[in-house]
Amino acid sequence: MSSQIQWFPGHMARARRQVQEALKLVDVAIELLDARIPVSSGNPLINQILGQKPRLVVLNKSDLADPALTKLWLKALERPGVKVIALDTLKGEGLKEVPRAAAALVAEQMAKLAARGRRPRAIRCLVLGIPNVGKSSFINRLVGRKAAKTGDLPGVTKGQQWIRVQGSLELLDTPGILWPKFEDPQVGYKLAITGAIKEQVFDIYEVAVRLLGWLASHYPDRLKERYRLSELPQNIPDLLAAIGARRGLLVAGGTVDVHKAAQLLLKEFREGLLGRYTLDMPPFDR
C-alpha cells in the first residue's frame, strides 16, 4: 500500500533548486521536523543540499509527540554543527531557544567578521522542511505577527520570502520539499498519517487501518477510553467499523460509513485527541 504513496509536485523540484541557490546567502539552516516522526519527516535530499552548513533542527509539534521519546530524539540528533530543540508552535514553548541556538551555531563566524571590522548584523537563516511540518506557523510565532501564509494543507507556501525578526534574525521561508521516491514504504505511511501528504494521493481507509492496528497493539486502553468500547475487536477493519458505529457514522440501512470513520480516526490522531504518540523510535532503549 504505502509503497505506492508518492507525491512530488513540479513546484518542489523548483524549490530544491531555490534552496541550493539561497544557501549562499544564509548563515544557518533551520530544518523543521515533525516530532512524531523525526526520521520520516527528514528529507534525505536536505542532507545532501545543506552539506556542512550550520543547522538548527527544530522538532516541531512536540505537544503531539511522546515527551519521553522526544527527549531521546533531542540527544540522538545532536552532533557537531547541529543543534536540536523541541518546539510547540501553538503555545510557543521552546521558541526563545531559536535565536540563542542560531547565535551559538555562528558565534565563531560572527567573531571573525567583527575582528575584521565588520558591523554586527542579523543572523540570516533559511527555514526549510517537508510540507505541513509547520514552517509558516513557526515563522509567524517567531516574528510575532502574521508574516507568512499558514494553512492546514501541505503545500501552502509556493515561493520564497525574507522576513525580519526584530534585532537578531532574518528568515528566508521556502516551500516544503518532499523527495521523488520514498525508499521505505513505512515512510510514506507515516507521512500520510501525520498529514504531510495530500489525501487525494493515498487510500485513507487503508492508512487508517494501519494506524488503528498500531494503536490497538500498543495503546488498546486509550482506544477503549476514547471511543467507549468495552472490548476491541481482534479484526482491525471490524474495530474501525465499531468506532464509526459509536460515533454514529452510518449510511442508509444502518451500515457504518467506514470512509468517514477512517477520516475521523486520522483527524483525531493528528489533533492529539487520541494521545501523544511518536511513530519513529529513537536509536536508544526506552
Q: Would you list which residues are annotated within the binding site for GTP?
A: 60-63, 132-137, 176
**What is the SS3 assignment for 94-147?**
CCCHHHHHHHHHCHHHHHHHHHCCCCCCCEEEEEECCCCCCHHHHHHHHHCCCC
Report d(CA 268, CA 282) in Å as an integer. 24
β-partners of residue 86 are 59
| Residues whose CB falls within 8 Å of the CB of residue 255, separated by 6 or more in sequence, listed in order | none
Contact yes or no for 259/208 (Cβ under 8 A):
no
Report d(CA 175, CA 161) in Å as an integer. 10
Torsion angle in degrees (nearest 10) through CA of 250, 255, 258, 263: 0
Cell numbers representing residue 60 in the block: 516541531
| Residues whose CB falls within 8 Å of the CB of residue 278, separated by 6 or more in sequence, listed in order | 35, 36, 37, 38, 65, 66, 69, 70, 73
Helix (H) / strand (E) element for 30: namely strand 28-34
Q: Residue 61, by phi and psi: left (phi above 0), alpha (psi -120 to 50) or beta? A: left
β-partners of residue 172 are 126, 162
Q: Which residues are annotated as a binding site?
A: 60-63, 132-137, 176
Cell numbers representing residue 196 in the block: 504531510
